[in-house]
Amino acid sequence: MIDRAAQAAGAACAAAPISRTHPDSGPDPAPNRGAPADLPALVREIRAWGSELGFDSVRIADVDLSHAEAGLQRWLAQGYHGDMDYMANHGLKRARPAELVPGTVRAIVARMPYVPGADAPGWRQRELARLDDAGTANISLYARGRDYHKVLRNRLQQLAARIEAAIGPFGYRVFTDSAPVMEVALAAQGGLGWRGKHTLLLDRDGGSMFFLGEILVDVPFPPDPPGEAHCGSCHRCIDVCPTQAILAPYQLDARRCISYLTIEHKGAIPEALRAPMGNRVYGCDDCQLACPWNKFAHRATLPDFDVRNGFDAPDMVELFLWSEDEFNRRLEGSPIRRIGHERWLRNLAVGLGNGLRAATDPALAQRMRAALAARLADASPLVREHIEWALAQQAGA
C-alpha cells in the first residue's frame, strides 16, 4: 500500500469468508487435501511465476504477527490514525490473519515496483526539483499511472491460479490494500524487507518504491526468515518530512502526513499544515526520495504504471479548472479518482495558494488568481474555505 498514512498499519475493509464469488477470493479450503510432497520446489516455482507476472520479489511469511499487536494498539490509542476509522475496525484481527481467514497458515507476500520504467538515472533529483516549481502540481509517483489495486489483484489471482494448476484446489484469498491486514509487518515477516523509520517497507536491493500484495493460504509452505533492518543511524526521512509527521523512528502521526491529508482526510486541511504542503496535491514522496536505499529502487516492468495525463509535471491551474465530468473522465482507472472532485479542488486550492506565495513570475501569479476567483462563486463550502485562504496568500510572505 502506498498511501503512507494508511500503510503505517495496513488499510482495511470488511472481511469476508473465502469464496469464489468474492472479488478478493480464491476457492474454498480443501481440508482433506494432502500437502504437496516437495513444498520447497513448489516455492521456487512460485517465485519464478511471480517474476513472470511482474513481481520483483515473492516470499513466504509465517502469519504469527503477535509481536506487532502492542504497537498497533498504542498507535490507535494515541489517535494517530486520524479519521481513518477503518483502522480501528476488526480489533486485533488485523494482526491475526488466521482469524481473518480461518485455515490460513502462511502468506505469499509479493512486491511490484512502480517507478515509471522510462525514468533515467537522476529521477530522485528531478522529483525533488519539481517541489520548488510554483506552477506545477506534484502527484505521488505511485498515482501517476493505473490504479495499482486492479493490477496487483489480477496478477496475484493469476499466481494463485498457477499454484492451483500445480497442486489442485487449495484455500486462499488474495489481498492488496483491501482488507484488515498489516501488510508491512507481514511482508517484513516474510523477508521482503524491513520496516524503515518512516514506517514503510525498505529493502537494500529495491528501496521502497513498490506496491505490496499477499495471498493468504492454507498450505504449510516453508517460511522465509524475517528481514533485517539496515537503517542504522540514518534519519533523513525524519528530517525531510515537510509537516514533521514522523515523530520519531517508526512513529507516524497520520494526522500530519500529507498523504493522509490529501487522500484520506475528508474535511478541511488544518491551516497550520497548508503552507508546508507546498505543491503536493496528491500524496507525498519526500521521505522516500530522501532515503539512500532508493538509489536502488527498481523500475516498473508493466506499462500500467506509465505516466498518464502528463502527471509527471502537470500545470496546476489546468488541473484546477477541470470540471467534475472531466475529472471523472480523465481519471478513469486512476487511484486518484476515489477522492472525488471536491477534495481534488481542495488540494489544488492549497497548492495554488502556496504557488501564489512562491511565484516570481507575475503572469503565473495572475493565472493562479484568476483560476481561484473563477471557482469561488460556485464552490462548495469546503472548497471555498481553501480558495479564500489561497487568495489571501501574498508573494514573498
Annotated binding-site residues for cob(II)alamin read 94, 177, 201, 212, 259, 284-285
Which cell numbers in the block locate residue 132? 520548488
CA distance 319 to 375: 12
Strand intervals (E) in 69-136: 106-113
Q: For strand 280-282 and strand 194-195, is the pairing parallel, antiparallel, or unpaired? A: unpaired
CA distance 233 to 230: 9
Binding residues for [4Fe-4S] cluster: 231, 234, 237, 241, 257, 284, 287, 291
CA distance 267 to 258: 14
Catalytic, out of 24, 56, 147, 177: 177
CA distance 383 to 267: 10
CA distance 24 to 15: 10
Whose cell is 500500467? That residue is 304
Q: 140 with 285: CB under 8 angstroms?
A: yes
Q: 316 with 352: CB under 8 angstroms?
A: yes
Distance of CA 208 to the CA centre of its chain: 11
Name the nearest CA neighbour of 216 among 3, 1, 15.
15
Q: For strand 172-175 and strand 210-217, is the pairing parallel, antiparallel, or unpaired? A: antiparallel
CA distance 292 to 41: 35
Binding residues: 94, 177, 201, 212, 231, 234, 237, 241, 257, 259, 266, 284-285, 287, 291
CA distance 226 to 228: 7
Binding residues for tRNA: 266
Q: 189 with 10: CB under 8 angstroms?
A: no
Q: Is 177 a catalytic residue?
A: yes
| Residue 72 CB coordination number (10 Å) | 21
Q: 146 with 334: CB under 8 angstroms?
A: yes
Give catalytic residue positions: 177
